[in-house]
Copies of this chain bind each other. A is one copy, B any other.
Amino acid sequence: MSQAHLFDTAIALAPHGEGEWRGSTSAAYANMIGPYGGITAAQVLNAVLGHPDRLGDPLALTVNYAAAVADGPFVLRPRAARTNRSTQHWIVELLQGGQVVVTATVVTAVRRDAWGGHEAAMPEVPRPLDVARTAQHGVEWLQRYEMRFLQGKVPDVWDGRTSDQSLTRLWVRDEPLRPLDFASLTAMADIFFPRVWLRRAKLVPMGTVSMTVYFHADAAQLAAYGSGFLLVQARGQGFAGGFFDHGGQLWNEAGDLLATTHQVVYYRE
């Protein structure tokens, strides 16, 4: 008898009343306080993926972290606000104790045969198994990923030295291995520790406020990839008034761009 992957258990949802789902945070993806934001984003997406009315595959996802997610159960309330011939627009709310904790919008779409050619090329980097595995310490969710950093690791020394750039590049895959899909790709889009830690070499308090993911692959492409590594990178843009943003890209080992992502993050410093 095979056991479910921890990721699948974490994002599992049960029907709960009219058009709602019930889920729960997962100790396997615990962060310092509450859950890893990437697993919350995957749960939100899963509320649409599992919906009987869904049309097409995910194209765009925006998740707004409106309040700290508390350990324990939650309710997901997805609503198809508009359904067209080939696109569909969802509004999703995640509630705990009757209060909205996450708001989100999801666009799903039927992809067509069309001219293509990704402009964001994968940088030239060593193959994943030629890069040392990075030891992971600390919070539980880090144990769910195998990471091999190429550039922009968490500072070894928190000496408060200011840097003018925050590019991070790493190879990453699920630990244990799991075939890639939209939910796991979404979770990995949030894998970047906060850029402000790199810029400041200082462990300042922070929290993602809003994250967007654009998907550039369809379900068949993701399924065909299996459980290979993703090369993921992120770079900060604006840092002011207690908020910064970053933009990032996720490629498979063949150099196909699978998704792009950006997020805006609160920090106290």
Contacts and interface: CB of A to CB of B under 8 A. Distances in A.
Interface residues of A, number: 66
Interface in A231-269: 235-243, 245, 247, 249, 257, 259-260, 262, 264, 266-269
Interface string A66-102: 1100000000000001101001010101000001110
B81 A100 contact: yes
Contacts of A218: 241
* Number of copies of chain A assembled together: 2
Overall SS of chain A's interface: strand
Contacts of A186: none
Contacts of A257: 237-238, 240
A220 B268 CA distance: 21
A81 to B, nearest CB: 4
A117 B238 CA distance: 7
Nearest to A101: B82
Interface stretch (A40-48, A103-111, A134-142): A103-111
8 contacts: A62-B212, A64-B107, A91-B103, A113-B241, A114-B240, A119-B238, A214-B238, A240-B257
Question: What are the nearest 10 A-B pairs in CB distance?
Answer: A111-B241, A216-B238, A116-B240, A66-B82, A114-B242, A66-B89, A120-B237, A62-B62, A60-B210, A81-B100
